[in-house]
Structure 1
Amino acid sequence: MTESQATQALTAAPERRDLIILGGGLVGMTLALAAARAGLTSFVIDRADPADLVAEGADGRASAISTASWNLFANIGLGPRLDALGCPIDSIAVTDGMKPGRIDFTPKPDEGSLGRMFFNRDLRMALFDAARVEPAIAWKVRTEAVRRDRGPHGVEVELADGTALRASLLVAAEGRQSPTRDEAGFAMAKWEYHHRAMVTALFHDKPHDNTAWEIFYPAGPFALLPLLDDAEGRHRSALVWTVAEKDAAGVMAMPDAMFVHEVAQRMHGVLGTIALAAPRMSFPLRFHHAGKVVDERLAVIGDAAHGMHPIAGQGLNLGLRDVGALVEVLTEGMRLGLEPGDAQLLARYEKWRSLDSFMVMSVTDGLTRLFGVPGRLPSAARRLGMGAVQRLPVLKRFFMDEARGMSGKLPELLQ
């Protein structure tokens, strides 16, 4: 080979970074930024156009960010941008159909809130703005991986335009329908709840006092989550109303006025007169849990690894715990001279996350089934148990720590 040919071959060689992250959503982009803070470079590949994801009115959903997840955002430098955009959750009221025997989770004044509510759009905008100016992140949008090769010496991904990228580790953060996870042949425990979540936001004339309501009905939970007042001072809350799949089409077909009437009936006037504050959306509810979350030079995170009922609002938070654990494992490996795709590091990540995610998901699934049993006797038994929790500080402390995401072995980034 001549010197000229050698130069051309080097020029044509794919660029190599530490990570290739497939999926630039909330979990994938948080991983890229957290990895950059730890000195790891990445490619982030996403088929979506970021402008579409943050367009006004494109997505009215909001997410409950636990205390641990907020610590993660603050530790990767997003605190100043997000601090004024989140509504604190100062208390959570849990009730079986608004009957007597509810539980009130309210921390002491010096303990801080139980979490914060953010519009997904605000979270995305903060993440995307930070990624654009981070040299350790190469962000490839409006494209997708058409080939993924993993081997003993690294990974190579080919994009739709023929571009080839190389890295030490491939991370699948593509969501519930992850093609990378499926291509790797991961066994999945999964089932349908035969329910659909109706998601929107509401204006209401009474202040919510930073209280989240979880009202359980036999047909499914009905959650009201506090949001900041809008620019005109109107009070707002996010709504997640779970309905049976057989009724979902009819509910979505309702005119807005009828929909608001049905919602108001289930609220029992706790927030006064209500009106829609965002477009109505619906999502099928399913459980899935990957039996393994690593393979040769591959790690799976977020909804690609686990998906659950939104009853406790822990889906995104569980994915952010994946991020913290993976970055910590890779960082410690780098200090020992190991590369990110090292099998020992991936085994440690899997051991750390598998038990934690399975425990959270099992509790969530159990609550869904427990509160879904109809009838007066099951309702009475539930309210009896809730009354016991209300009277026992130790049990209340346990549930509040779970809501904050502060239980178990926490990665440093979430502390």
Structure 2
Amino acid sequence: MIDVLVAGGGYVGLSLAVALKTAAPHLSVELVDGAPAEAWKRDERASALVAAARNLLDVLGVWDQIAPEAEPIRRMVITDSRTADPVRPVFLTFEGTGSEGDSSPFAHMVPNRAVTGSLLAAAERLALPVHWSTSAVDFSTGPHATEVRLSSGEIVQARLLVACDGVRSKLRDIAGIKTVRWDYGQSGIVTMVEHERPHEGTAEEHFLPSGPFATLPMTGNRSSLVWTERTEDANRLVEGDDLVFEEELERRFGHKLGALKTVGGRRAFPLGLTLARSFVAPRFALAGDAAHGIHPISGQGLNLGFKDVAALAETIVEADRLGLDIGSLAVLERYETWRRFDTFRMGVTTDVLTRLFSNDITPVRLVRDLGLGIVDRLPGLKSFFIRQAEGLAGKGQPRMLIGQPI
């Protein structure tokens, strides 16, 4: 019997397994993932890592490996206009320094491959078994262990099964955990562009009638794009002619950074809201997108997953140190209490923002632009929002999020 089986080898599953082995080396932890071993190298996406997530990765000893590929966000600019408008007025700006009074940026843009690769290297150093091309396909829970059937036919017994298998989690369904879910009718187009002039660390979010168009700074003269369109339009753009795609891209990106060139592939991901009604069951826990999938309008999806990791790892390790059963519902409910309100709040926030900004209703535009302008003129309120964005707001944060080991 092993102590913890983690199902899902993305950054959430990997960071959880690494966090457990780092804090409690005596625990037997294994990870399974249905993807091939090299699949993570094909991930061309990039993500915004806020200060709290950076602290966690530093505690795990992997931030130094990620840092050379990380681009600090030095400034955030928010505009609201129609695609054809000749001028895009700026309604809100944030300077990129955090709320701790030093020059540390509140977020960095990092390639997903850099995060996953560094965590895999840490898993190897810790002799943590990672089984690729092997997924958890079924499980049954007994009084002392969960019996998990793998796609290889092997049966594994674990004191705790953690599902990090994505927003369409099969393990969540097997556990009988219901979700609140709806589709926005939008898809996010993800691609990378090169441009002639430097971005100077500026991230921009243009609120357009079809949804937000975000340009996010990467190392060199490159930017990562998260481009929201109605799903049928997004599919047409991704699957269509390169020239049409680049023309539509240029209409939204503008000419401020000179000539543009797309690099790598382009993909569209359907956008919706998914919130699990419960995060735990006896000897079973959800983390990352399996527990919550939100709209990328706030750039917080990955960071919510790292918050789950910090809270669940601390819950498990502290229970083990006290001699408690790490898979018992009484122990796991502490994790759920820790994370559920924050997740629900972020889900509601992104849902309201999506509905508020993904339209072209004139009275609504006037109200939202007035609100952005008011925030821009109140330094105290801007500092509050930065603190929230960093993931450091509130008391009783898990220790790894504030840079302390468990």
TM-score category (smaller protein): over 0.9
For 2:40 and 2:96, the matched residues in 1 are separated by: 35
| Cα deviations by residue, 1:375-413 (Å, 9 ceiling, x for unpaired) | 333222221111100000121011111221112342101
Q: Could you say what secondary structure the match of 2:323 adopts?
A: coil
For 1:278 and 1:314, the matched residues in 2 are separated by: 24
Contact 1:87–1:227 (CA<8 Å) still a contact in 2? Answer: yes
Look up the match of 2:70. Answer: 86
Instruction: Choose the corresponding residue for 1:162, options 150, 153, 159.
Output: 153
Q: Could you say what secondary structure the match of 1:110 adopts?
A: coil
Is 1:30 the counterpart of 2:40 in the alignment? no
Q: Which has the larger radius of gyration?
A: 1
Look up the match of 1:131. Answer: 123
Look up the match of 1:212. Answer: 203
Are residues 372 and 52 of structure 1, via their aligned partners in 2, closer, same or farther at CA, if it must alter by over 3 Å? closer
For 2:183 and 2:154, the matched residues in 1 are separated by: 38
Instruction: Choose the corresponding residue for 1:103, options 88, 92, 97.
Output: 92
User: How far 1:63 moved relative to its partner?
Assistant: 0.6
| Cα deviations by residue, 1:2-61 (Å, 9 ceiling, x for unpaired) | xxxxxxxxxxxxxx221011111110001000011111331101111121321xxx2211
For 2:32 and 2:119, the matched residues in 1 are separated by: 15
User: How far 1:101 moved relative to its partner?
Assistant: 4.5
Q: Could you say what secondary structure the match of 2:354 adopts?
A: helix
Is 1:321 the counterpart of 2:310 in the alignment? no
For 2:363 and 2:279, the matched residues in 1 are separated by: 41
Instruction: Choose the corresponding residue for 2:4, options 19, 23, 28.
Output: 19
Q: Could you say what secondary structure the match of 1:394 adopts?
A: helix
For 1:213 and 1:243, the matched residues in 2 are separated by: 17
Q: Could you say what secondary structure the match of 1:102 adopts?
A: strand
Moved more, 158-167 or 289-298: 158-167
User: How far 1:107 moved relative to its partner?
Assistant: 4.5
Contact 2:78–2:90 (CA<8 Å) still a contact in 1? Answer: no
Structure-1-length-normalised TM-score: 0.91
| Cα deviations by residue, 1:140-193 (Å, 9 ceiling, x for unpaired) | 111122331211101121222332222211100000111110011111100000
Look up the match of 2:184. Answer: 193
Task: Tell me the number of residue pairs that the alignment of Structure 1 and Structure 2 aligns.
Answer: 391
User: How far 1:365 moved relative to its partner?
Assistant: 1.0
State how 1:257-296 maps to structure 2 within 5 Å.
Answer: 257-296=243-282
Look up the match of 1:227. Answer: 218
RMSD: 1.4
For 1:187 and 1:160, the matched residues in 2 are separated by: 24
For 2:131 and 2:107, the matched residues in 1 are separated by: 32
For 2:96 and 2:350, the matched residues in 1 are separated by: 22
Contact 1:91–1:113 (CA<8 Å) still a contact in 2? Answer: no
Contact 1:101–1:386 (CA<8 Å) still a contact in 2? Answer: no
| Cα deviations by residue, 1:291-339 (Å, 9 ceiling, x for unpaired) | 1010011000000010011111111110110000001111221221112
Look up the match of 2:135. Answer: 144
Instruction: Choose the corresponding residue for 1:375, options 354, 361, 366.
Output: 361
Unaligned runs of 5+ in 1: 1-15, 230-234
Moved more, 248-257 or 310-319: 248-257
Contact 1:236–1:277 (CA<8 Å) still a contact in 2? Answer: no
Are residues 270 and 376 of structure 1, via their aligned partners in 2, closer, same or farther at CA, if it must alter by over 3 Å? farther
Unaligned runs of 5+ in 2: 82-86
User: How far 1:371 moved relative to its partner?
Assistant: 0.6
Contact 1:100–1:383 (CA<8 Å) still a contact in 2? Answer: no
For 1:123 and 1:188, the matched residues in 2 are separated by: 29
Are residues 110 and 146 of structure 1, via their aligned partners in 2, closer, same or farther at CA, if it must alter by over 3 Å? closer
Structure-2-length-normalised TM-score: 0.93
Look up the match of 1:12. Answer: none
For 2:329 and 2:59, the matched residues in 1 are separated by: 27
Matched to 2:161, the amino acid is L
Is 1:251 the counterpart of 2:237 in the alignment? yes
Look up the match of 2:393. Answer: 407
Look up the match of 2:341. Answer: 355
| Cα deviations by residue, 1:223-253 (Å, 9 ceiling, x for unpaired) | 0000001xxxxx0000010001132232123
Look up the match of 2:84. Answer: none
For 2:93 and 2:235, the matched residues in 1 are separated by: 34
Is 1:385 the counterpart of 2:376 in the alignment? no
